[in-house]
């Protein structure tokens, strides 16, 4: 009968079910001491044929870091800087040695320092001239400056900053960055400067999101197709209401063409400077106000499609 003979035909790409006994037999005929050939992904140096060796690399969506990494040039020298472990994880999974990480909110340079620690290169854009100068100096002292290009500019200004990034990429003999990192102000929670171009000075949440979307567009255009972007952000409360900044920013990333790959929840231990009396006060306020105190922020992970118009 034709239907049964058709169903017996070997279908391409489909493996026949193997019993446990035959699977065990297949393993036993592997010559002892011969390792499987390396299997490396196009965007990472992780050899997935040895996946058991990468226990230090996160694959779960809950990141619990025990304080802040303060080694290899990292320090808590800027109110609002992120823990370096986020970059260790993201750069290890989504870049190769020698590749370029682009950060459009450089701050105190955490992403650039970690990029160089891991044998990558970095381009960072920061609005505050004194901060850009401070990071340059810090990188010089750490002997890392030759691997990093720092641009003092406004990341929501695609024309000027886009041209500056293109020049920096050319200096590294590249057309596009290999990874994009975004750690914007969490709206007005910390005011970083008096500049009207500073995202933390946007008058409304909508205004902040519009400025952020301009930065997303610049990041999208500068990133190589198929490559990844990480966004670190937390939510905020205003007038007794939770403003879900994280999800609102995710939507703006999607708006410019990024596909969301993962939403990671990360503890914020290691971010706080003052503990003790302040945390007791917040506990009291939370109990009275009927809300919960933020103990987490997000690391959103996106991919730029391999085929995109821009």
Ligand X SMILES: C[S@@+](CC[C@H](N)C(=O)[O-])C[C@H]1O[C@@H](n2cnc3c(N)ncnc32)[C@H](O)[C@@H]1O
Residues near ligand X (CB under 6 A) are 78, 80-82, 105, 107-108, 110, 125-128, 131, 154-156, 183-185, 192-193, 197-200
Q: Judged by CB, which is closer to ligand X: 117, or 155?
A: 155
DSSP code string of 177-224: EEEEEE----TTSS---S-TTSGGG-SSHHHHHHHHHHHHHHHHHHEE
Q: Judged by CB, which is closer to ligand X: 117, or 156?
A: 156
Q: Judged by CB, which is closer to ligand X: 128, or 236?
A: 128
CB of 182 to ligand X, least distance (A): 9
CB of 34 to ligand X, least distance (A): 45
CB of 57 to ligand X, least distance (A): 21
Q: Are strands 223-233 and 177-182 parallel, antiparallel or unpaired?
A: parallel
- Token couple for 44: 């990472």
CB of 238 to ligand X, least distance (A): 18
CB of 105 to ligand X, least distance (A): 3
Q: Judged by CB, which is closer to ligand X: 226, or 268?
A: 268
Smallest CA-to-CA distance from 202 within 152, 214, 302, 181 is with 214
Q: Judged by CB, which is closer to ligand X: 49, or 195?
A: 195
CB of 200 to ligand X, least distance (A): 6
Q: Judged by CB, which is closer to ligand X: 128, or 174?
A: 128
Q: Judged by CB, which is closer to ligand X: 80, or 119?
A: 80
The residue sitting closest to ligand X, measured at its beta carbon, is 107
CB of 152 to ligand X, least distance (A): 9
Q: Judged by CB, which is closer to ligand X: 186, or 302?
A: 186
The beta strands (E) that lie in 216-279 are given as 223-233, 236-238, 241-243, 259-267
Count of residues making up the chain: 310
Give, in degrees to the nearest 5, the angle at Cα 256 between 255 and 261.
Answer: 75
Q: Which residues contact 293 (CB under 8 A, 6 or more apart)?
A: 282, 283, 286
Q: Which residues contact 111 (CB under 8 A, 6 or more apart)?
A: 87, 101, 103, 122, 124, 181, 183
CB of 77 to ligand X, least distance (A): 8
CB-CB contact of 263 with 222 (8 Å): no
Q: Which residues contact 251 (CB under 8 A, 6 or more apart)?
A: none
């Amino acid at each position: 009968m034709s239907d049964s003979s058709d169903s017996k035909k070997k279908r391409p790409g489909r493996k026949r079910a193997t019993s446990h006994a035959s699977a065990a037999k297949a393993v036993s005929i592997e010559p002892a001491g011969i390792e499987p050939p390396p299997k490396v992904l196009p965007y990472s140096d992780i050899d997935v044929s040895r996946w058991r060796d990468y226990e230090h690399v996160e694959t779960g969506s809950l990141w619990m870091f025990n304080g802040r990494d303060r080694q290899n040039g990292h320090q808590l020298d800027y109110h609002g800087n992120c823990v370096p472990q986020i970059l260790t994880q993201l750069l290890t999974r989504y870049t190769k040695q020698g590749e370029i990480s682009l950060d459009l909110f450089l701050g105190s340079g955490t992403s650039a320092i970690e990029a160089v620690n891991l044998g990558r290169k970095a381009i960072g854009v920061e609005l505050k001239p004194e901060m850009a100068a401070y990071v340059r100096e810090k990188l010089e002292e750490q002997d890392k400056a030759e691997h990093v290009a720092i641009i003092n500019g406004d990341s929501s200004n695609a024309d000027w900053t886009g041209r500056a990034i293109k020049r920096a990429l050319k200096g590294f003999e590249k057309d596009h960055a290999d990874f994009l990192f975004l750690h914007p102000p969490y709206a007005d929670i910390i005011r970083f400067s008096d500049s009207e171009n500073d995202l933390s000075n946007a008058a409304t949440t909508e205004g902040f999101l519009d400025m952020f979307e301009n930065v997303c567009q610049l990041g999208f255009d500068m990133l190589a197709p198929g490559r990844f972007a990480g966004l670190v952000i937390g939510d905020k409360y205003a007038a007794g209401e939770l403003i879900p900044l994280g999800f609102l920013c995710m939507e703006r990333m999607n708006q410019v063409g990024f596909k969301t790959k993962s939403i990671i929840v990360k503890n914020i231990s290691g971010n706080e400077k003052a503990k003790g009396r302040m945390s007791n006060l917040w506990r009291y306020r939370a109990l009275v106000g009927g809300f919960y105190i933020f103990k987490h922020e997000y690391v959103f992970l996106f991919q730029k499609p391999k085929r995109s118009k821009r």
